[in-house]
Amino acid sequence: MREYYENNVAAVTGGASGIGLALCDMMLSFGAKTVVLADIDETNLARETARLDEKYPGRAFAVKTDVASQQSVGAMVARAAEVGGRLDLLINNAGLGLSGAFDDASDADWKRAFDVNFYGALYGIRAALPIMRAQGGGQIANTASGIAYVAMPYQSMYSATKSALLGLTTSLRYELWDENIRLSTIIPGTVATPIWGGGPIPDFAITPEESARGILHGLAANQRVIFVTDMDREGAVNATDPGAAQRMDEYLLEVARKRRAGTGLF
């Protein structure tokens, strides 16, 4: 992997914490030329960029970015290409962890969910394509979730936005293939990050560093869908296997009842 990322120019949204930060740190450790940390959290952004700049002088850059704003995302992508002289890799990683009953979510909540979890990536793709076409290619990765395959109850917004992102990415992978622009969907696993909002984190959650290593391995291999964990890979297989339909119905119904009663997440 070190050879693949050496001298690369990358930008990562949600880059100031969790998986995004681990990706930035790891790519720099592999010899990336420059990495732009894009995040809306100015405090985290300043602190983590300063920390990375101390480890990798002159190679980590911060750009405050609101992924719900096309102008903000476009400015970030342009800045990444400016500081690096090109843009080899864009990872659209920022997102909201969304849960709750369908009846409790307003149309405004749904719009916000898609603005961040779907349109944020779409804006990044639109901004990156002219740059990557002009330089002869590049790579774009969008962070979805295993929920795109196994739609969990009481997470309708999260399921819908991540399923849409999976569909967009897979379609564009082949639309842009002959232009040497590679697209991959990231299924990062259940990861112990701030996306849990201070709530309980499952004991089977992996670390951001473990997730980042799996993601970067998958990107280097140009995998269509990067499954970091066996759990998500098996879930996707079962979700599309007619022979597992009854078992999946029973499992998801059990999850729904637990969540409704407040007795567990899974």
- CA–CA dist 156, 260 (Å, integer): 14
Q: Contacts for 240-243 with beta carbons within 8 Å, 24 or more apart? A: 240/149
User: What would the two tokens of residue 245 be?
Assistant: 């339909």
Distances (CA, A) of 253 to 65, 114, 129, 231, 235: 39, 26, 42, 19, 15
Q: Is the dihedral of CA 44, 46, 52, 54 positive or negative?
A: negative
First to last CA, the chain: 34
Contacts of 73 (CB under 8 A, 6+ apart): 13, 65, 66, 67, 120, 123, 124, 127
What is residue 197's three-state secondary structure?
coil
Q: Which one of the listed residues 5, 56, 123, 158 is annotated catalytic?
A: 158
> Could you confirm whether 158 is annotated as catalytic?
yes
What are the φ/ψ torsions at residue 64 (nearest 5 degrees)? -65, 130
The catalytic residues are 158
